[in-house]
Structure 1
């Protein structure tokens, strides 16, 4: 068995996007890498202003509970990686459902998801190492749990596998799809927005080090048996800049439609890049549309461009709601959530809120919604009306007698430091 080899962030061998395996454990490969993946033809990892730490947290730097599996064990768990156990196919390999003895009760069986990386060389191996290093040292209810890994040589080469908790309800993308037979209710969408914000806030602000997800999207948010949301697929994650440094410089990777404009333009990565992606995701929840959809008319292919004309008028706003949602029960809450999204989508990254602030805004949106519907979720809302046009927000939309301009003025006092 080979040891896990850590890789340094300072080298010019940053993994480039391959429309990364979507870790939904019910994955479907889109086969349109040019539409969804971002690739950089040049690397720039040596900015003096951004170098910071040299590597991600890793298993040798602290205790962890990861189990080391043999390849034989995984073959037995997945019926020799039978097609009947295959859950999905992604850019870096396949995902299988496996059955193993429960670590808590050996007399019981538990389902797991086994990701087997394909033989694609160092690039795939780096993403595998990153996932082990990140998920081996972090733990949160809204991050998918990594149970263990396998790194073994056999006659076919090096076997690299990851074993996760099984997420039976697939990804959020699955349920937002027009093909879904189980569309998500508005209350469930709010719950997902809250859970995802909790996960990102933990990565950005609640540890001794900061982790930037870098590939936040609906297909990387998984749903467990109780429909709790968990972030998954950390192969592109990066350690944030050290205190006093503004950013890290890196190859531009991720998924088209979610990546922040300044990151695409300069390769400068900060936690505010994830905040932008989260804002895109909120509009995905509101509209039920993908951020980039080549199958729609040209004027509707880019989600953020399509919604712009509808944001300044409450009467128009209802036209962007997912038609599968009940307008009367959803409109007020969805509009308030869009205000949070607009804050996340500020063109100037410095003016975007931190994820802890976004989390509080979303909590308040849900709290308000809970009073008007059977939401049974803990949430709230706060936010300035900052649209994608940056300074062109009207701030005068009336929402059921509640003046948005008054609401926002109170919020400004609380978030003056943003």
Structure 2
């Protein structure tokens, strides 16, 4: 009840702000170089359908920049960059930098910064709802530098899911952590070009698949959610992408995530929040084994209760949302229910009932608690009605034969895969990790035995680097591109991504990991961890914000910052690092590529 009141207050606050703020004239849909937009104003697209808006959740001192449609729906929120009330301007400077600025001299929040200064730029809010930054050329053409559609929080017409092969950027729809905390949550909607289908991942694991696209319809998405949609699939050297458009000009279809993984699609929705990892109805995928204490049909049901607080434990983790609490309770056989710990719906409170189950069920007041109950067989999704009809008419004998053939084929496939795996291991007799690459957990266990090495989840790396976006790219090395990333803890990191065209294989990757783990010195950049996902091989290093020595040494103005004392300290540090590599490290290393650009 308390949470509902808080949500209502948030809505009233947002409506009052929107109804009283001063808007820029409708024709003012753009920022030119040198322009600044005060947040008491808005950019409005030419048709008046979309406008920029600044909003906050409840009374938190965290504001967000968003794009709102005429019907008051949010179609884009820059959720990864909340800011305080001290930031009051959206500006585009003469060098092509799009940023959020504070009049108190605080460090600006950069939405886009070009590798080098660019003239003739313009930021425009289009009638599609896309906020774009373009470079204008004398011949009348333009180059897209940045766009809000690359970071969707709601999927609307012409927004894409997939991958841009030119930049390496991946278009992914990510859920929020909670309804009140807009940080990236557990679920992501992605386009799988190989299978030509949509998938929902929970913390990187596939928990739902849409089924293949046939006659402009996905098998496991309700018909009512697709009836005014026309899908577009692109697969070429530039990109692999999925998008949709509306067949009704008066309506704007929207797909959005809830905190529990439910994908709302206009008049229908995908019940991915009912994919408990053991069932495979309605597109659900089996991504975990059923715990011995759980049974098919067990679900968390929302109740309003006065619980018994004698049997309660707390998980005070602000990075935990509904889905994380649910997964923790599900895997803990002594857990009977959970609720949010804080008002913003983060953190977990776990309930362990005694034999008498001391709680009072009420619909008037109490705690919003998710209680584990067995609801019987899970109701199949609308998209599986034809399977119900088929199962009713197929004879028991034919069903047994079908299952027998299926088991035989799976066994044959498994034996074939096992044979190929063994052949691969035999070809690499000196590799201690290739045999364990079937799962990231096995990979991590091997390295944690002898090294202080973190193994990062691929979804976390994607979110940290904004999907390996071009604006996060720091440079290009022999290993591949290097990106700046920000972990959920706020720590800045440098992410080295092995190029798919690189000849470096798993042996070279393993050798580099082993070598760097053995080299620990205050004058060497520290390796924080690694990540392996399918063909991706990634290294995560500490981030060096001051760039490399050549940035200062070979610039006439910046070189003046290096007085003799600083130069002497730099020389001494280089000498100490080389002496360690050449003489005192456990592995003797001869550095043959010493130059200013590799000295942070």
Same fold (TM over 0.5): no
- Higher helix residue share: 1
As a proportion of its length, which structure holds more strand?
Answer: 2
- Which structure has more relative contact order (CA 8 Å, sep 6+)? It is 1
Rg larger in structure: 2
After TM superposition, the score normalised by the length of structure 2 is 0.25
Instruction: Give the TM-score of the pair, scaled to structure 1.
Output: 0.35
